[in-house]
């Protein structure tokens, strides 16, 4: 089985706290990995390192067998959808413009139409990005992430603040991408039910990794689920 990501003894030290503490895990091709953990568990920090946005970490991160400190070529194979894409509300870019930004080769313009149709946003292609609803915007950013035919899709809590109908559509699209196109998906979420339904692997992160394995093993183990829920609840109370 082809190893897509190998994370080995990853530690990220912030001035006052360890954001990630000695985390190791592997993601194989075709995995649909749900990374769950409470707010502040280090999910976004982990992703920032995996995407070379943060290079101040100890340990190694490999994509397709190559240390990402040595080459950033792996980024061409990755589609990334951030938690909430930040852009100027009045930015004069149409849906088509935004998806095209993700396109590495200008020649693939037909691909844009194809992706927009696949994500049911074809009729919006000439609208300004800032005029769309949150759910529609998120689909545009997925389209942008997919337009290069990535091997891996990395999604950081991608449904924050989106209506349920859009979420359901979004999940069915992810499921299809993973099962039909064999795209490896690494997806952080705090929605346990959704992870249970979609992911075939689960990683529980709360600065340290306290579970990583098949999702059936996690969800059939009441102790683990309870442990996760308690940790999550404590963190929740801590935050409020």
Partner 1 sequence: MTFEIFTFSFMHRAIISGIAIAILCSVVGLFLVLRRYSLFGDAIAHSSFGGIALGLMAGIYPLWTAYGVSIVSALIMTRIKDKFNISGDASIAVLLSSGIAVGLVIIGLSGGFTLDIFSFLFGSILLVSVNDTILILSLTGIILIVILLLYRQLLYSTFNEEQAKVSGVPVEKINYLIVFMAGITVVTSIQLVGVLLISALFVIPNVTAIMYGRGFKQTAIISMSFSIFSVVAGILVSYIFDITPAGTIVLIAIGIFACTMGIKSAGLLSRHH
The distance of closest approach from Cβ of residue 235 to partner 1 in the complex, given in angstroms and rounded to an integer, is 25
Nearer to partner 1, 106 or 193 (CB): 106
Nearer to partner 1, 75 or 231 (CB): 75
Nearer to partner 1, 126 or 180 (CB): 126
Q: Which residues bind partner 1 (CB under 8 A)?
A: 51-53, 72, 75-76, 78, 80, 82, 85-88, 90-94, 96-98, 100-104, 106, 126-128, 131, 144
The distance of closest approach from Cβ of residue 101 to partner 1 in the complex, given in angstroms and rounded to an integer, is 4
The distance of closest approach from Cβ of residue 116 to partner 1 in the complex, given in angstroms and rounded to an integer, is 15
Contact 19, 172 (CB under 8 A): no
The distance of closest approach from Cβ of residue 201 to partner 1 in the complex, given in angstroms and rounded to an integer, is 23
Nearer to partner 1, 103 or 231 (CB): 103
Q: Which residues pair with 35 in a beta bridge?
A: 188, 203
Contact 36, 224 (CB under 8 A): no
């Amino acid at each position: 089985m082809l190893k897509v990501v190998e994370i080995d003894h990853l530690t990220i030290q912030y001035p006052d706290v360890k954001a990630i503490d000695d985390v190791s895990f592997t993601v194989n091709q075709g995995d649909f990995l749900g990374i769950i953990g409470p707010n502040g568990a280090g999910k976004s920090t982990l992703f920032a390192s995996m995407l070379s946005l943060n290079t101040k970490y100890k340990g190694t991160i490999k994509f397709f067998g190559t240390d990402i400190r040595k080459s950033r070529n792996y980024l061409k194979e990755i589609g990334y959808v951030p938690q909430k894409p930040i852009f100027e509300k009045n930015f004069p870019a149409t849906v088509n413009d935004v998806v095209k930004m993700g396109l590495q080769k200008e020649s693939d313009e037909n691909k844009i139409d194809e992706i927009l149709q696949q994500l049911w946003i074809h009729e919006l292609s000439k609208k300004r990005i800032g005029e769309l609803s949150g759910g529609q915007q998120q689909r545009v950013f997925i389209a942008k992430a997919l337009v290069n035919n990535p091997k891996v899709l990395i999604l950081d809590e991608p449904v924050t603040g989106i209506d349920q109908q859009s979420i359901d559509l979004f999940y069915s699209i992810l499921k299809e991408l993973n099962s039909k196109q064999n795209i490896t998906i690494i997806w952080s979420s705090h929605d346990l039910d959704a992870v249970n339904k979609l992911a075939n692997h689960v990683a529980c992160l709360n600065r340290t990794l306290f579970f990583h394995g098949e999702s059936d093993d996690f969800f059939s183990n009441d102790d683990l689920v309870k442990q996760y829920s308690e940790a999550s609840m404590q963190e929740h109370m801590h935050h409020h």
